[in-house]
Amino acid sequence: MSLEDKNKAIIRRWIEACNRRNLSVLDELVAPDFFHHTWQLRGSAGMKQFYTMTFKGFPDLHETIEDIIAERDRVWHRFKTTGTHTGEFRGLAPTNKRVTWTGVNFWRIVEGKVIEKGSLYDMLDTLKQLGIIEYTEKAKEFLP
């Protein structure tokens, strides 16, 4: 199996573990000096705390890998995540709204451990789906 295939398998295992709420798998996959660029998190403990908070707000959260590409120690995957906001999330009371967001995660893997991760997605759209923000009439014209 090529390095790229091994690295893609690591990311698939990470996503599957999170979808099954088996966060202990992250202890095996995360390097001690791991850093998540988007959320400014460090180590497996930081990621597990983040996921636990997110799953509290969205108990049915599920991520699907739409595409995955690897080159040497880098992996990128396009994702779609869905969930229903039925629990408290970052101080926001449940809205009971179903949301979907799409984006790209990028990863760096060294010696079988994830050392870096970053995420790019439209948080503004997610906040709109939750009813936290509303577009002005001008914005609706500009962003139909």
Measured CA to CA, the distance from residue 63 to residue 31 in angstroms comes to 22
Q: What average pLDDT score do residues 92-102 get?
A: 96
Domain of 63, CATH number, reads 3.10.450.50
Cα 139 to the center of its chain, rounded Å = 27
The pLDDT value given to residue 63? 98
Q: What average pLDDT score do residues 58-80 get?
A: 98
Q: What average pLDDT score do residues 3-16 get?
A: 98
75-85 per-position pLDDT tens digit: 999 999 999 99
As given in the structure block, the two tokens for residue 4 are 């790229």
The domain tally of the chain equals 1
Domain that holds residue 101: 3-142
Measured CA to CA, the distance from residue 9 to residue 109 in angstroms comes to 11
Confidence of residue 44 (pLDDT cuts 50, 70, 90): very high
pTM metric for this prediction: 0.90
CA dihedral of 136, 138, 143, 144, whole degrees rounded to 10: 90
Mean pLDDT for all residues in the chain? 95
Q: What average pLDDT score do residues 48-71 get?
A: 97
